Amino acid sequence: MRSAPHELWRGVRESARSDAFGGALLLGATVLALVLANSSAVGGYEAVRDFSFGPASLHLDLTLGQWAADGLLAIFFFVVGLELKEEFVAGKLRDPRQAAVPIAAAVGGVVVPALIFTAITMSSGDDAAQGWAIPTATDIAFAVAVLAVVGRFLPPALRIFLLTLAIVDDLIAITIIALFYSQGLHVQWLVLALLPLAVFAVLVQRGVRAWWLLIPLGVLTWALVHAGGIHATVAGVLIGFTVPVLATKRASVKVAVEDGEPVYDGLAAHFADRWGIVSTLVAVPVFAFFTAGVTIGGLQGLQSALSDPVTLGIMAGLVLGKPIGIIATSFAVTRLPVFNLDPTLRWNDLVGASLLAGIGFTVSLLIGELAFVDTDVAEEHVKIGVLLGSFIAALLGGALLSARNRTRRRRSDFDSVDAS
């Protein structure tokens, strides 16, 4: 008989793996932050968020909000790195022909929002133009959570399409952060970061899972990358890429027994399972709590934000640019004879999924923080643009997919009655 603590932990793990639960937790943290930032408790909220600590010699004298963005979010990107490598080695991205449509859609979903943002903010000066990448990101947790809630009867291929698109989108976002939003590179620290990263890679390739070895090496790699001037979340991805995907005699974890034979997973799946819980329950919600707390300033503050081309550019990029880029690119690619959509998908389904891809949130907020450091652009307006744009995209995509879901459910009920 299993113990009560074991059953409780298993329940927590199952909940953390749920798309809907992760999205609900993220939404709850966001709402709480907004309530606190627009209430009499705003002073206490800001005091906690802006409390700083850490060694200044390593450029780690950071506020709690910065620790959440630079530190905790590295855990989220570590899990993203693991998932990316799994997909490239053994998953949906392994076969270029199968992955071509969502990959191309992801590229279109990055380029078009960036162009729309640039066009809207063109007359606002060079500072505004630095935010061109803000509306290019897709929040996997939120987008897949909405699909899980409204799309029970939609084809499984739609979730695969959205996941693949979002994963590639994350890879592009990571590249953008590394190339365009890293300031004051210090090569000596980056070179030093290769040492703990290499030791980490050797250990995991040999199947070592000892937390007391791997976690210090990961933290040291993160700290040196941070000191080197590259946004430290990139370190999370690099560490994730070193973990082996395929199970070998050295690097594997026994997960089950089938027909008397043990079944093994590679370390990437094992680490993604373990650290995905930390990412879902702690890293992403805490980041959202400290980042989404924007003081709107009532109706006047909202009107001021909506008159700012930066806010409008972000919203237009997320709500219009994402679906236009994704659908247009998907349509163009499927005109080629070698590439086709999954036969269970319809274009209405893809339009709904492309609207959900406009939920930028986590990575959009992160890029927004990085883009306008030491500029005159109002940080509050950036956050309002991301929050409103993501909310509208979720509302439109959820409504369309909910309607599609009802149609497919009626067909399923009709087929069941007809078959009986």
The string of pLDDT tens digits covering residues 355-369 is 999 998 888 988 988
pLDDT digits (tens, 9 = 90+) for 333-345: 999 888 888 888 8
pLDDT single digits (tens) 119-159: 999 988 778 888 999 999 888 778 888 888 887 788 888 88
Please state which of the ranges 61-65, 167-171, 210-214, 315-319 shows the lowest mean pLDDT. 167-171
Identify the burial level of 177 via C-beta atoms within 10 angstroms of its C-beta, where 0-12 means exposed, 13-18 middle and 19 or more buried.
buried
> What average pLDDT does this structure show over 109-114?
96
Helix (H, G, I), strand (E, B) or coil at 53: strand
Q: Which of 1-15, 90-104, 310-324 has the lowest mean pLDDT?
A: 1-15
Residue 76 pLDDT greater than 60, yes or no: yes
pLDDT value of residue 218: 96
CA distance 240 to 252: 16
* From the candidate CATH numbers 1.20.1530.10, 3.40.50.300, 3.40.50.11810, 2.40.100.10, the one assigned to the domain spanning 22-32+54-406: 1.20.1530.10
pLDDT in the model for residue 362 = 83
**Measured distance CA(87)–CA(94) in Å, rounded:** 6
Given a cut of 60, is residue 417 above it in pLDDT?
no
Which pLDDT score is estimated for 377?
73
What are the E-state strand segments in 236-325? 253-258, 261-265
How far lies 306's CA from each of 237, 296, 381, in Å? 35, 11, 8
Confidence of residue 205 (pLDDT cuts 50, 70, 90): very high
User: In terms of Cα–Cα distance, which of 182, 86, 138 is closest to 325?
Assistant: 138
Average model confidence (pLDDT) across the chain: 85
pLDDT at 375: 72
Q: In the structure, what pLDDT confidence band is assigned to residue 295 with cuts at 50, 70 and 90?
A: confident
Percent of the chain with pLDDT over 70: 90
What value does the mean pLDDT take over residues 193-200?
Answer: 96
List the structure tokens of 179: 């190339």
Does 414 have pLDDT greater than 80? no
Q: Does the structure show a pLDDT above 80 at 258? A: no
Summarize pLDDT for 266-292 with one digit per residue, the tens: 898 889 888 988 988 898 889 889 988
Is residue 376 within 8 Å of residue 149, measured between CB atoms?
A: no
pLDDT tens per residue across span 325-335: 999 999 999 99
Rounded-to-integer distance, Cα 215 and Cα 200, Å: 9
Task: Look at residue 13 and tell me whether its pLDDT is greater than 80.
Answer: no
230/174 Cα distance (integer angstroms): 11
For every residue of 219-276, DSSP letters joined together read HHHHHHHHHTTS-THHHHHHHHHHS--S--SSS-EEEEEETTEEEEE-HHHHHHHHHH
Q: From 152, 161, 146, 157, select the one nearest 409 (Cα to Cα).
A: 152
Q: How far apart are CA 263 and CA 269, in angstroms?
A: 13
pLDDT of residue 211 exceeding 60, the answer is yes
The secondary structure element, H or E, covering residue 62 is strand 62-63
Position 255 pLDDT exceeds 90:
no
Query: Is the CB of residue 238 less than 8 Å from the CB of residue 222?
Result: no
pLDDT of residue 392: 95
Asked if the model's pLDDT at residue 393 lies above 80, the reply is yes
Query: Residues 70, 72, 77, 82: is their CA dihedral positive or negative?
Result: positive
Which pLDDT tens digit goes with each residue over 364-388? 988 988 888 777 777 889 999 999 9
Chain Cα centroid distance, residue 44 = 29
SS3 261: strand
CB-facing half-sphere around the CA of 371: CA atoms within 13 A: 25
